[in-house]
């Protein structure tokens, strides 16, 4: 290779910031749904699908955020590897769903807050890597408020405390309208993770916030998450 | 026939390639505008890719499970059912097949995979360690270490998963111990191949410079390495997507009636001008592109291209320059409006384009909008060659090395001058012999007599 090529530093060139996506909206609006009861996975999936459909039809109508808990279940992304399920899919004690998001298998159960976000990224930034990093920031901000140091691991998606993964992220997108989102382990029973290779990561250790703050409950964390999402994505909550 | 390409979309401004998770339609299926045709995954994000046209999915060029660079054509949509067969015939054979066969025939050579893949799994490519398709799927696999942190460049991660190197065992040489691609290669005991780019500086280089480019010490006991290869002896390596694209273009060029016309250009003046502007960061590529651009401005016929409607005269003069990629294939980043862009601006743009080409981050219009192509092998000491015309353009100029020659002038005196041979390949439907000759004559005049005008 010709070293002369670098006589002019490419970094100082035109490409230092190629992202010209306009920040269309300072504030966009969204409905916030926080069901009191535990929600079956397929019910919430239906809500999301309907919402995504209507946002595709009317891209500038209000977006939506759900913060909820699921009954125990496993979900796998469309590209997910079934070998990460350490049991036979049809003999699973709890339901297994193959869903339209990226990533490998994960586990939901009571005591874990699941956040679903139906956003029109055209109003934010049309960049899915940016969106994944922002979702991580949402969780890291919440951990920070709780006095726990959350961090990401380079090359992976999710949020870790020390060496334990507490937050998982997986999203799907159509015409820049998102679905799915994140999950944060609060005080759940992690035993179900032993039956899978979470996120396809062989040696990953799972953690929950109650490991750091004994006695913490979902209802303590939800308000922080709600605010964190609102702040990070510059949302106004619509009146329901 | 109206054929519409489906491209690998950019899910992010920093995404270079994506994995095809699933084709939601089969070849032959009817698709409506706005209907999802396939799903692409990158990182933990899935994106539905929609058709922009009503019609039929004629061909799937990249099977589910494989990865493709952003902007790559991965499928074809035609408007009527009658066109399906024709589009399929024109499309390259589905890579899935060749990969599958390859997989069987060379199964003994396949390195053991950490995770055994269930035989019921439909994505054949997951077993193929050399296929680019494995990369995305294995990127998410255990790089997670005891201390919970591996810092490595994306390319290093990719290489590591390709070569079966555990990043935990690799010592990083980058900033803060970041693992670079070279670290992975040296960990595997492979020679470090610095990306070789056909950067044009022909007149400045002579044959003796070659070892510098080769980067490999010549061992006198062994026969000298004849060059690089993408596979080992006895292997058959599937074409990567870029190579496939080049193959398609090269085959298509057989339908073009081409002719060649050559010229020897004296470069002593250009060299001395280059020496003056080099400290300002001006590269030889910029000089040649500008010289070609200025000459094209006076010879619009040579900037034109054949279309079924007639001769198309582009609104811009965009000089594409061929660049060889280290992992196979080549790409032609484009210097737009070369005739009216300053040398330093062209140099900057070129450095940026090459850098991003190497990272596979070019937008399609940055490598497909050329109206004239420049190909330079001068840095290897090649004295002359002829190039294949890229489809959609009228001409390509092959540039050889600038070498000292004994030159006789009209008055009979003999002197030693540096001479560079250039060879124009042109589509005779658009550009005739006289057009090509006059273009070369003017280009030679500019380079021999008036290189200083390039800085204007």
Give A86-145 pLDDT, tens digit per residue: 888 788 888 999 888 888 889 999 999 999 999 999 888 889 999 999 999 999 999 999
**Chain B partners within 8 Å of A15 (Cβ):** 352, 355-356
SS3 B182: helix
CB contact under 8 A, B48 and A173: yes
Mean predicted confidence (pLDDT) in B415-431: 95
Q: Do B46 and A102 touch (CB under 8 A)?
A: yes
CATH class, domain B117-187, is few secondary structures
Closest Cα in chain B, distance from residue A220 (Å): 28
β-bridge pairing B55-60 and B30-31: antiparallel
Interface contact A202-B347, CB threshold 8 A: no
Which chain A positions have a beta carbon within 8 Å of B344's beta carbon? 8
Q: Reduce the DSSP state of residue B53 to 3 states and report it.
A: coil
Q: Given this model, what pLDDT does residue B349 score?
A: 93
Task: Considering only the beta carbons, identify the residue of B47, B121, B154 that sits closest to A128.
Answer: B47
Contacts of B74 (CB under 8 A, 6+ apart): B6, B7, B8, B20, B38, B60, B61, B62, B68
Confidence of residue B171 (pLDDT cuts 50, 70, 90): low
- Determine the Cα–Cα distance for residues A144 and A32; give it in Å rounded to an integer: 23
> Which band of pLDDT confidence, cut at 50, 70 and 90, is reported for residue B4?
confident
Q: Is the pLDDT of residue A5 over 80?
A: no
What does the pLDDT read at residue B145?
36
Given CA atoms B27, B29, B34, B35 in this order, what sign does their dihedral have? negative
What pLDDT is stored for residue B149 in this prediction?
57
Residue B419 and residue B109: Cα distance in Å, rounded? 49
E strand or H helix at B177: none
Collect all residues of chain B within an 8 Å Cβ-Cβ radius of residue A10. Answer: 348, 351-352, 354-355
- Confidence band, pLDDT 50/70/90 cuts, at residue B243: confident
Q: Which of A8-22, A186-200, B169-183, B280-294 has the lowest mean pLDDT?
A: A8-22
Which of the four pLDDT bands, split at 50, 70 and 90, describes residue A60? confident
B51: closest chain A residue by CA: A175
Closest residue of A to B34, CA-based? A175
- Nearest CA among A64, A80, A44, A117 for reference residue A199: A80
In 10 A of CB A101, how many CB atoms? 25
C-alpha torsion A13→A152→B180→B326, nearest 10: -70
B120: tokens are 């019921």
Q: How far is B149 from chain A (nearest CA, A)?
A: 6
Cβ within 8 Å of B, A 143-182: 153-157, 160, 162-163, 169-175
Looking at 3.30.565.10, 3.30.930.10, 3.40.50.880, 3.40.50.360, the CATH number of the domain A27-237 comes to: 3.30.930.10
Catalytic residues of B: 428
Residue B43 with chain A: CB contacts under 8 Å: 102, 128-129, 132, 157
Q: Do B115 and A103 touch (CB under 8 A)?
A: no
Quick check: B351 and A132 CB within 8 A?
no
Q: Is A77 close to B150, i.e. CB distance below 8 A?
A: no
| Contact present, B166 and B144 (Cβ < 8 Å) | no
Query: What pLDDT shows up at residue B409?
Result: 84
> How many helices (DSSP H) and strands (DSSP E) are in chain A?
3, 12
What pLDDT score does A80 carry?
Answer: 80
Task: Please tell me the distance from the alpha carbon of residue A102 to that of residue B264, in angstroms, as a whole number.
Answer: 57
| Strands B17-23 vs A28-33: parallel, antiparallel or unpaired | unpaired
- pLDDT computed for residue B164 by the predictor: 65
Residue B92 has a pLDDT of 56
Q: What percent of chain B has pLDDT over 90?
A: 35
Distance (Å) from the C-alpha of residue A69 to the closest C-alpha of chain B? Answer: 21
Residues A139 and B230: their CA atoms lie apart, in Å, by 44
Of B46, B154, B197, the CB nearest to A2: B197
Residues of A annotated as catalytic are 199
CB contact under 8 A, B11 and A127: yes
Let me know if A26 is exposed, middle or buried by CB neighbors in 10 A (0-12, 13-18, 19+): exposed
CA distance B123 to B67: 12
Under the banding of pLDDT at 50, 70 and 90, the label for residue A73 is very high
CA B41, chain centre distance (Å):
24
Mutate to test the interface with B, among A6, A19, A57, A79 (most CBs of B within 10 A): A79
B386 pLDDT tier (thresholds 50, 70, 90): very high
Give contacts of A172 with chain B, Cβ < 8 Å.
Answer: 45-48
How many CA within 13 A on the CB side of residue A145?
14
Who contacts A214 (Cβ-Cβ below 8 Å, separation ≥6)? Answer: none
Largest CA-CA distance found in chain B, in angstroms, rounded? 81
Judged by CB atoms closer than 8 Å, whether chains meet at B47 and A202 is answered as: no
In degrees and rounded to multiples of 5, residue A191 shows phi and psi of -60, -30
Report which of residues B228 and B382 the model is more confident about: B382
Q: Which residues pair with B305 in a beta bridge?
A: B312
Classify domain B3-100 at the CATH topology level: OB fold (Dihydrolipoamide Acetyltransferase, E2P) (2.40.50)
- The C-alpha of A19 sits at a distance from chain B's nearest C-alpha, in angstroms, of 6
Q: Which residues pair with B402 in a beta bridge?
A: B420
Tell me the chain B residues in contact with residue A4 when contact means C-beta distances shorter than 8 Å: 199, 201, 278, 283-284
| Cβ density class B352-361: b for 16+ within 10 Å, e for less | bbbbbbbebb
Rounded to whole angstroms, how far apart are CA atoms B407 and B414? 6
- With a cut of 70, say whether residue B1 has pLDDT above it: no
Residue with more model confidence, A4 or A66: A66
Contact state of A129 with B283 under an 8 Å Cβ cutoff: no
Mean pLDDT (whole number) for B367-375: 93
Question: Would you say A137 and A130 are in contact if contact means Cβ atoms under 8 Å apart?
Answer: no
A201 touches chain B (CB under 8 A): yes
Q: Exposed, middle or buried: residue B378 (CB in 10 Å: 0-12, 13-18, 19+)? A: buried
Q: Mean pLDDT check: name the lowest of A138-152, B207-221, B240-254.
A: B207-221
- pTM (global) more than 0.90: no
- Cβ proximity of A83 and A150 under 8 Å: no
Encoding tokens for residue A110? 């009571």
What is the residue extent of each domain of chain B?
3-100, 117-187, 241-455
What's residue B84's pLDDT?
82
A-B contacts (CB, under 8 Å) = 172
CA of B119: which chain A residue's CA is closest?
Answer: A83
Q: Residue A182's pLDDT is what?
A: 96
Using a CB-CB cut-off of 8 Å, the residues of chain A touching B14 are 127, 129
Question: What torsion, rounded to 10 degrees, do the Cα atoms A46, A142, A209, A98 define?
Answer: 20
- pLDDT range class, residue A33, cuts 50, 70, 90: very high
Distance CA B372, CA B395 (A): 6
How far apart are the CA of A62 and the nearest CA of chain B, in angstroms?
21
Q: What angle do CA B435, B437, B443 make, to 5 degrees?
A: 105
Strands A28-33, A235-237: pairing is parallel
The model's confidence at residue B187, banded by pLDDT at 50, 70 and 90, is low
Contacts 24+ apart (CB under 8 A), B237-241: B237/B130, B238/B95, B238/B98, B238/B99, B238/B102, B238/B128, B238/B130, B238/B131, B239/B95, B239/B328, B240/B132, B240/B327, B240/B328, B240/B329, B241/B62, B241/B68, B241/B69, B241/B72, B241/B132, B241/B329
Q: What is the pLDDT of residues B334-367, one digit of tens each?
A: 999 999 999 999 999 999 999 888 877 788 888 8
Q: What distance in Å separates the CA atoms of residue B346 and residue B335, rounded to the nearest whole number?
A: 7
Q: How far is CA B220 from CA B192, B216, B223, B224, in A?
A: 20, 12, 7, 7
The pLDDT tens digits of the residues spanning B94-152 come to 444 333 333 333 333 333 333 333 333 333 333 333 333 333 333 333 333 334 456 67
Query: Given its phi and psi angles, is residue B79 left (phi above 0), alpha (psi -120 to 50 degrees) or beta?
Result: alpha
Position B380 scores a pLDDT of: 86
Kindly determine whether residue B352 and residue A174, on different chains, have CB atoms separated by under 8 Å: no
* DSSP annotation of A70: B
Q: Are strands A205-206 and A235-237 parallel, antiparallel or unpaired?
A: unpaired
- Residue B441 CA to residue A145 CA, distance in Å, equals 73
CB atoms within 10 A of CB B314: 17
Domain B241-455: which CATH class? alpha beta
How far does the CA of residue B432 sit from the closest CA of chain A (Å)?
36
Residue B81 pLDDT: 82
Cβ contacts of A132 on chain B, cutoff 8 Å:
43-45
Q: What is the mean pLDDT of residues B303-307?
A: 94
Mean of per-residue pLDDT scores for chain B: 77
* CA closest to A103 among chain B residues: B44
- Cβ contact B12–A157 (<8 Å): no
A85/B165 Cα distance (integer angstroms): 25
């Amino acid at each position: 290779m010709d070293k002369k090529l670098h006589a002019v530093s490419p970094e100082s060139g035109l490409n230092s910031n190629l992202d010209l996506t306009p920040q269309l909206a300072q504030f966009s609006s969204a409905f916030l749904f926080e069901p009191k009861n535990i929600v079956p996975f397929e019910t919430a999936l239906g809500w999301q699908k309907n919402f995504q459909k209507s946002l595709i039809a009317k891209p500038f109508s209000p977006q939506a955020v759900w913060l909820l808990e699921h009954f125990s279940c496993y979900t796998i992304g469309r590209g997910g590897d079934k070998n990460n399920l350490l049991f036979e899919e049809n003999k699973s004690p709890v339901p297994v769903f193959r869903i339209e998001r990226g990533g490998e298998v994960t586990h939901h159960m009571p005591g874990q807050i699941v956040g679903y976000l139906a956003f029109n990224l055209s109003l934010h930034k049309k960049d899915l890597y940016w969106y994944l990093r922002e979702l991580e920031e949402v969780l890291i901000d919440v951990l920070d408020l709780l006095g726990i140091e959350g961090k990401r691991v380079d090359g992976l998606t999710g949020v870790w405390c020390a060496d334990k993964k507490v937050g998982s992220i997986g999203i799907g997108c159509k015409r820049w309208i998102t679905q799915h989102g994140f999950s944060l382990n609060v005080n759940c029973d992690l035993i179900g993770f032993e039956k899978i290779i979470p996120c396809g990561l062989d040696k990953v250790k799972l953690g929950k916030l109650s490991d750091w703050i004994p006695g913490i409950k979902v209802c303590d964390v939800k308000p922080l998450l709600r605010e964190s999402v609102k702040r990070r994505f510059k949302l106004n909550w619509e009146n329901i | 026939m109206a054929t519409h390409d489906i491209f690998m979309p950019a899910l992010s401004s920093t995404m270079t390639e994506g994995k095809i998770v699933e084709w939601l339609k089969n070849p032959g299926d009817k698709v409506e505008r706005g209907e999802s045709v396939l799903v692409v995954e990158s990182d933990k994000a899935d994106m539905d890719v929609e058709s922009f046209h009503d019609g039929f999915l004629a061909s799937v060029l990249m099977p589910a499970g494989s990865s493709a660079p952003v902007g790559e054509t991965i499928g074809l949509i035609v408007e009527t059912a009658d066109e399906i067969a024709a589009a399929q015939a024109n499309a390259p054979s589905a890579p899935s097949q060749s990969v599958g066969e390859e997989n069987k025939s060379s199964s003994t050579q396949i390195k053991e995979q950490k995770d055994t893949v269930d035989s019921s799994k439909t994505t054949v490519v997951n077993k193929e360690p050399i296929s680019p398709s494995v990369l995305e799927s294995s990127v998410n696999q255990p790089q997670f270490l005891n201390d919970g942190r591996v810092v490595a460049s994306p390319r290093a991660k990719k290489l590591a998963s390709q070569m079966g190197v555990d990043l935990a065992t690799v010592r990083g040489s980058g900033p803060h111990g970041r693992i670079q691609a070279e670290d992975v290669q040296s960990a595997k005991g492979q020679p470090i191949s610095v990306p070789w780019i056909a950067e044009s500086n022909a007149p400045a280089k002579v044959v003796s410079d070659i070892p510098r480019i080769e980067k490999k010490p010549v061992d006198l006991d062994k026969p000298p390495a004849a060059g690089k290869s993408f596979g080992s002896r006895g292997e058959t390596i599937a074409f990567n997507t870029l190579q496939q694209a080049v193959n398609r273009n090269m085959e298509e060029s057989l339908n073009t009636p081409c002719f060649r016309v050559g010229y020897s250009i004296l470069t002593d003046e250009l060299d001395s001008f280059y020496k003056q502007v080099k400290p300002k960061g001006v590269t030889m590529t910029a000089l040649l592109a500008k010289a070609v651009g200025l000459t094209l401005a006076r010879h619009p016929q040579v900037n034109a291209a054949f279309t079924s409607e007639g001769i198309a005269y582009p609104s811009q003069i965009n000089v594409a320059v061929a660049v060889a990629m280290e992992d196979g294939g080549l790409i032609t980043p484009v210097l737009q409006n070369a005739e009216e862009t300053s040398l330093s601006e062209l140099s900057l743009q070129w450095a940026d384009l090459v850098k991003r080409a190497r990272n596979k981050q070019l937008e399609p219009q940055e490598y497909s909008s050329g109206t004239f192509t420049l190909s330079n092998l001068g840095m290897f000491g090649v004295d002359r060659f002829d190039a294949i015309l890229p489809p959609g353009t009228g001409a390509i100029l092959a540039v050889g090395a600038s070498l000292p020659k004994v030159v006789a002038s009209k008055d009979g005196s003999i002197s030693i001058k540096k001479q560079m041979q250039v060879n124009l390949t042109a589509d005779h439907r658009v550009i005739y012999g006289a057009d090509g000759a006059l273009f070369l004559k003017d280009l030679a005049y500019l380079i021999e007599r008036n290189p200083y005008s390039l800085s204007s």
